[in-house]
Amino acid sequence: MAKVRQDVEGKKIMPQDNEAPKRIQNILEFLNLLLPKTLAKRLVNMILLAAGIPVARCMELTGTSAKTTYGLRKAMEKEEDMSRLLTLKSGTNKKRKTTNIEEQIISEIENNNYHTLRQIANMIKEKFKVVVSQWTVGRLLKRKGIKRLKCGSLPAKADVEEQKKFYKCILKPLMKAANKGSTVLLFMDASHFVLGCDFLGHIYGFMRRFLKTASGRRRYNVLGAMDFVSKSVLTVSNDTYITASEVCDMLRKIAEAYLGKSIHVILDNARYQKCKAVLELAAQLHIQLVYLPPYSPNLNLIERLWKFVKSELRAKYYDDFGIYQQAIDSIISSTAHENKERINKLIGEKVQLYSNLRFITKDTAILDQAKGKKSAA
């Protein structure tokens, strides 16, 4: 073992060696010509462990699981028969219950909505007369690459063609102009943060914990205008309601912040944002208000900012309204500084236009990859 340690260290396969992954992969490729893939990984793992390489680093270099790597180390520490570790056990070759119907099961899952493994197991029993456990269903889905994914929302009254036209003729040219510096492009919308039940946070422990929440509803309303290029956000906030008065205050803030520049503001058709007072003030301040097509929150990119802010808020629970407000303001102000890189990944020229959807039920659709490639071409 000492010689192995010396040889491995001589080749500098150490935790801090940046070339180690490439060398290990070369070794594995060579061993795969002589041994089964599992045995090749096991052998390299044993050599690395004997050389004193940490388990986490061994897992990273060879791609083996924690259970396998720790098991090997434990067996080596007990000085068990090494030949046993380098022998593959023959499987039972037992035929799976679902072998002949797997493709039909997958097709059924793809064309209907199933929320739990139990529902799928019941479907298999009902349609194919095969009794399987939830564990068996889970293994089948894992083999086929099917995951339990969070659903997205599709506005029921959205006009897809109108959205495509708006994006192509208005929004995308404004984005390009903003990137060139010939105009300032802002996305404006309000978000409402309720203290208490929406943001309880997460706490480590053996048991789920229950927090005493504030009585009543205290809401922090924030009207924001996000700069498409810099990701800086202007805000007008209160704990009552957002009205036309707050929108007018925001327009004055925008005019002051971007004095002498061409300004375009993207916003939705909320009544308090389209009233006479707002339109007249925007005209006086030379701010161009660009209203989205009805039911098009997917085109207002500040919605992604609000989603980011709410995800950050869920990290912990706030029981003091003042601290809660400060936390929200701090997260919003971070978008142009320490969190700008993360926001840039969320917010760019790409938008969801729902043009590459394929309906699998009356109210459920999935992204059609083939249609997406065709439209991109």
Q: Provide the CATH number for the domain around residue 268.
A: 3.30.420.10
- Together in a domain, 360 and 238: yes
Q: Is 94 inside any structural domain? A: no
- Together in a domain, 81 and 107: no
Question: Which of helix, strand or coil describes residue 235?
Answer: strand
Q: Is 260 inside any structural domain? A: yes
Q: Is 90 inside any structural domain? A: no
- Together in a domain, 15 and 127: no
Examine the fold and report which residue of 85, 113, 134 is the final residue of a domain before the chain moves on: 85
Give me 171's structure tokens: 């929004």
Question: What confidence tens digit (pLDDT) does each residue in 69-92 have?
Answer: 888 888 888 766 667 777 766 555
Q: Is 375 inside any structural domain? A: no
User: For residue 42, with 0-12 CB atoms within 10 Å meaning exposed, 13-18 middle and 19 or more buried, which class applies?
Assistant: buried
Q: Is 93 inside any structural domain? A: no
Counted domains in the chain: 3
| Closest of 234, 287, 297 to residue 265, by C-alpha | 287
DSSP state of 169: I
Strands 219-227 and 184-194: antiparallel
Distance, CA of 28 to CA of 272 (rounded, Å): 65
Burial 109-132 (b: 16+ CB within 10 A, else e): beeeebeebeebbebbeeebeeeb
Residue whose token pair is 């404006």: 188
Among 39-53, 116-130, 160-174, 320-334, the least confident range: 39-53
**Residues contacting residue 315 through CB under 8 Å, at least 6 positions apart:** 201, 202
Question: What confidence tens digit (pLDDT) does each residue in 177-219 have?
Answer: 999 999 999 999 999 998 876 777 777 778 887 777 766 678 9
- Together in a domain, 325 and 252: yes
C-alpha torsion sign, points 238, 244, 249, 254: positive
- Together in a domain, 204 and 114: no
- Together in a domain, 137 and 171: no
Give me 92's structure tokens: 């039972």
- Together in a domain, 229 and 116: no
- Together in a domain, 133 and 166: no
Hey, what amino acid is at 177? A
- Together in a domain, 232 and 305: yes
Residue 93: pLDDT band with limits 50, 70, 90: low
| Closest of 142, 234, 218, 146 to residue 184, by C-alpha | 234
- Together in a domain, 330 and 221: yes
Percent of residues, the chain, with pLDDT higher than 90:
45
**Is 199:313 a contact under the CB 8 Å cutoff?**
yes
| Closest of 213, 228, 193, 219 to residue 331, by C-alpha | 193
- Together in a domain, 270 and 345: yes
pLDDT at 126 over 50: yes
Give me 52's structure tokens: 């004193």
Phi, psi of 124 (to 5 degrees): -65, -40
Q: Is 360 inside any structural domain? A: yes
Residue 5: pLDDT band with limits 50, 70, 90: very low
**Residues contacting residue 127 through CB under 8 Å, at least 6 positions apart:** 108
Q: Is 337 inside any structural domain? A: yes
Among 20-29, 106-115, 119-128, 207-216, the least confident range: 207-216
Q: Is 349 inside any structural domain? A: yes
Alpha-helix runs per DSSP H in the chain: 2-10, 20-32, 37-50, 55-62, 66-77, 82-85, 102-110, 117-128, 134-144, 160-166, 172-180, 244-257, 276-284, 302-313, 321-333, 340-346, 369-376
- Together in a domain, 198 and 308: yes
Q: Domain limits at 27?
A: 2-85
Give me 80's structure tokens: 């068990």
The per-residue pLDDT for 10 is: 44
| Closest of 248, 256, 255 to residue 286, by C-alpha | 255
